[in-house]
């Protein structure tokens, strides 16, 4: 005789990038075990796989983790985590005053939102006179890989990511779609930019939507209280 199955609650949230509603559930014991094992391993690739698997399972396949913008995935995972093990996450935060002591902190995950700079745009004009510019896509797991958790992105990986995220290049009314352009041509275009033009493209990444939340922490050694800004999933993963 088959054993009875526990009922699992369902919730709704809105994806920040599309304003699309999706249904999700808390993660189950079997999924929590995967997450805890990934945390214990300390390996970015294990944590990344755990997040992907949990998001895909808990959204009933509505989200393909590798194809959605990174900030969507981060937001969805935090909402799943909040409904699974509680809305308050206990973290250890590096104190800014001495940069060596860690303080205990609590964060209400229900209050975490995706922050967007007012002047952010994915349409970057790099030459006003020629009306030359690029339209960029948002990074996904495919483009950031393990750097999502390791925090280490090599210079070569940064440029490779930029090449892969260009959706189109335009000059006036002429539009060159990336799907119709070779990677070598895109690479040649980017490598031919001036430093000032490249800064405009880099500004897209520094201002794009992201998880962000400010907290106060008190250094247990120096008793100094500081403001700390948590950014991205790695900061909330505790």
| Same domain membership, residue 37 and residue 109 | yes
Please state the rounded mean pLDDT for residues 62-70.
88
Asked whether residue 158 carries a pLDDT value surpassing 80, the answer given is: no
Residue 150: band (very low, low, confident or very high) from pLDDT cuts 50, 70, 90: very low
| Same domain membership, residue 198 and residue 104 | no
| Same domain membership, residue 65 and residue 156 | no
Kindly tell me the sign of the dihedral angle through the C-alpha atoms of 211, 50, 42, 68. negative
Residue 153: band (very low, low, confident or very high) from pLDDT cuts 50, 70, 90: low
| Same domain membership, residue 148 and residue 88 | no
Q: Count of CB atoms within 10 A of residue 65's CB? A: 22
| Same domain membership, residue 49 and residue 153 | no
| Same domain membership, residue 230 and residue 164 | no
The answer to whether residue 6 sits within a structural domain is no
Please state the rounded mean pLDDT for residues 126-152.
79
Q: Count of CB atoms within 10 A of residue 127's CB? A: 13
CA distance 3 to 183: 55
CA distance 24 to 77: 10
| Same domain membership, residue 103 and residue 55 | yes
| Same domain membership, residue 91 and residue 38 | yes
The total of structural domains in the chain comes to: 2
Average pLDDT value over all residues in the chain = 88
The answer to whether residue 53 sits within a structural domain is yes
Asked whether residue 7 carries a pLDDT value surpassing 80, the answer given is: yes
Asked whether residue 94 carries a pLDDT value surpassing 90, the answer given is: yes
The answer to whether residue 143 sits within a structural domain is yes
Phi, psi (rounded to 5 degrees) for 114: -85, 120
Residue 186 lies in domain: 123-207
| Same domain membership, residue 108 and residue 83 | yes
The answer to whether residue 192 sits within a structural domain is yes
Query: What pTM did the predictor assign?
Result: 0.83
DSSP string spanning 17-85? TTTEEEEE-PPPHHHHHHHHHHHHHT-HHHHHHHHHHHHHHHTTTS--TTTS-HHHHHHHHHHHHHHHH
The answer to whether residue 2 sits within a structural domain is no
DSSP state of 135: E
pLDDT tens figures, 189-198: 999 999 999 9
Extended strands (E) in 97-145: 102-108, 113-115, 123-127, 132-136
The answer to whether residue 1 sits within a structural domain is no
| Same domain membership, residue 182 and residue 89 | no
Asked whether residue 205 carries a pLDDT value surpassing 90, the answer given is: no
The answer to whether residue 39 sits within a structural domain is yes
The answer to whether residue 98 sits within a structural domain is yes
| Same domain membership, residue 26 and residue 110 | yes
What's the count of helices (H) and strands (E) in the chain, helices before strands?
9, 11
| Same domain membership, residue 87 and residue 135 | no
């Amino acid at each position: 005789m088959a054993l009875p199955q526990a009922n699992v609650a369902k919730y709704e949230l809105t994806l920040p990038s599309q304003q699309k509603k999706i249904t999700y559930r808390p993660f189950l014991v079997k999924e929590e075990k995967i997450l805890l094992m990934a945390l214990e391993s300390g390996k970015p690739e294990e944590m990344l796989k755990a997040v992907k698997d949990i998001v895909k399972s808990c959204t009933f396949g509505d989200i393909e983790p590798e194809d959605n913008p990174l900030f969507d995935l981060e937001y969805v995972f935090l909402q799943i985590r909040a409904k699974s093990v509680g809305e308050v996450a206990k973290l250890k935060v590096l104190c800014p005053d001495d940069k060596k002591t860690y303080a205990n902190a609590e964060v209400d995950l229900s209050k975490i939102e995706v922050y967007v700079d007012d002047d952010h745009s994915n349409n970057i004009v790099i030459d006003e006179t020629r009306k030359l510019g690029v339209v960029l896509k948002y990074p996904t797991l495919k483009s950031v890989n393990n750097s999502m958790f390791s925090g280490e992105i090599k210079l070569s990986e940064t440029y490779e990511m930029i090449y892969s995220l260009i959706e189109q290049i335009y000059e006036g009314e002429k539009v060159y779609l990336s799907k119709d352009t070779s990677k070598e041509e895109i690479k040649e275009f980017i490598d031919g930019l001036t430093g000032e033009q490249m800064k405009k493209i880099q500004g897209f990444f520094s201002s794009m939507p992201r998880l962000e939340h400010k907290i106060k922490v008190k250094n247990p050694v120096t008793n100094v209280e500081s403001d700390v800004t948590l950014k991205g999933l790695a900061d909330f993963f505790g």
